Structure 1
Amino acid sequence: MLALGEPERAAPRLEALAASTGAGTAARAAVLGQAGQAWMVAGQPTRAFGAITMALALTPEDVDLLIDRAIAAAAMGRLRDAFADADRASSLDPQRVEPWIYRAAALRRLDRPQEALRDIERALALDPASPEALLERGILRQLQGDSAGARADWESVIANSPDSAAADLAQQNLALNEAGPSRR
């Protein structure tokens, strides 16, 4: 169903499968995590958050689930929850880039740009070519008035990951930058 573009039909079936299966906790958590991802694709972050929360009740230290729930929380505007999940994920796996990026994004949206910049620099120390980290650093640089630095980050994303979602967002940010302050 997901492959056919019907995430709103797939998600409840995945939830039902997780509830009815005799599989172990890790397998049930994985299926609930897939349900959460399907709800996100369906544009229903609240239902995604719920499914992923049930999955985390089964496997509370699953970094992937924590990241997914942070994404769902941010989509709902629950930035403190998003930060908390990304923070926990970064504590469980400090060498993983994604939690640092999501921490930074949550901090930026919570109007804590200096902390966000520290986290994004940590992400870039782990993976200097991460398109998502460069995109976020570009946003932070733009907010600090460093248009040249922002442009360099966004152009790097486009050059090195041209077919990525991050490149699409970087291109949009560059276009807004070109339009000037009155168009941002």
Structure 2
Amino acid sequence: MSKLLPILLLCAAPAIAQPLPTLDEVQFQECLKLASKDPASAVSDASLWAQKKGGYLARACHGFALATDFKFDLAVPILTEAATMAQEKGDPRAARFWAQAGNAAIAAGQPDVAVDALAKALASKSLNNAERADSEVDRARALVALGKSAEGEAALATARQLAPENGSAWLLSATLARRLNKLPDALTYIETSAALRPRDPAVALEAGNIAIVAGDDATARKQWEQTIAIAPDSRQAVSAKAQLAALAAITATPETEPQSR
């Protein structure tokens, strides 16, 4: 996000330097703000706006609001329509709409649709490196869901190169490496992820998962306990509690059976 210009510089700028936004652009920004706070109301407003020839901006906000309200299956076709229309109009935001459609498709359990949408997003030159990295992470998730682990690895490698500060790229790389029995890589990736996200329950959970595979029960226990401490009501905490219970059952000393007479 660009910094605000000093007041004196702003006053000195020519009046024609920055054209005023159109009414549609203003409505789009207001719709997005509403979607972040009250997605149900934004869905209603965007739907009415679309009926009044709001075009792809109305559809983009409609889809975003649906996704924010966790109605991913409904969001996918609307975001896809917004992206298609924006692309036809030459709007560089089409790439972001494609990326949003891909993200929603993953959440809706449609990895094939996600791969297609994300490929279109990445084909554009309008995304910055951070956005491209996020799209590569999503593409990796979709590819792995389709059983294409090697392609998923490649996508994650690209994401790490584009944005080394992207914690999700390192975390998912660690998880995938563990599942592929590439333990040295998994350990390296999770260490970087933990440095980037020291208070992330998902990172602590995966660190425990990797430690148990490496045969380090003590570290696994510590990481799972940390997961619960960081976010006791999270789904990661539920998994950590189950893992701790399983570890306790395995390591418990069996009771000595009574000798038969």
Q: Under TM normalisation by the shorter chain, which class is it?
A: 0.7 to 0.9
TM-score (ref. length: structure 1): 0.86
Is residue 2:221 matched to residue 1:151? yes
- 1:86-143, Cα deviation, whole Å (9 max, x unpaired): 1111111112322111111121122111111011112222332232222111111111
Structure 1 segments of 4 or more deviating over 6 A? none
CA shift for structure 1 position 18: 0.5
- 1:54 aligns with 120
Q: CA RMSD in A?
A: 2.1
How many residues end up aligned between the 2 structures?
A: 180
**Among residues 109, 112, 125, which one is paired with 2:179 in the alignment?**
109
- 2:145 aligns with 75
Percent sequence identity over aligned pairs? 34
Say if 1:79 and 1:109, in contact at 8 Å, map to a contact too.
no
**Among residues 17, 34, 57, which one is paired with 2:100 in the alignment?**
34
**Among residues 176, 179, 192, which one is paired with 1:122 in the alignment?**
192
Higher relative contact order (CA closer than 8 Å, sequence separation 6+) = 1
CA shift for structure 1 position 23: 5.2
**Among residues 163, 166, 181, which one is paired with 2:236 in the alignment?**
166
Stretches of structure 1 that go unaligned for 5 or more consecutive residues are: none
Matched residues in 2 for 1:3 and 1:94: separation?
A: 27
Classify the secondary structure of the residue corresponding to 2:76.
helix
Stretches of structure 2 that go unaligned for 5 or more consecutive residues are: 1-65, 252-261
Is residue 2:150 matched to residue 1:84? no
- 1:31-59, Cα deviation, whole Å (9 max, x unpaired): 11111122122111221122112111114
Structure whose CA Rg is larger: 2
Pick which of 134-143 and 53-62 moved more.
Answer: 53-62
Classify the secondary structure of the residue corresponding to 2:67.
coil
Is residue 2:66 matched to residue 1:6? no
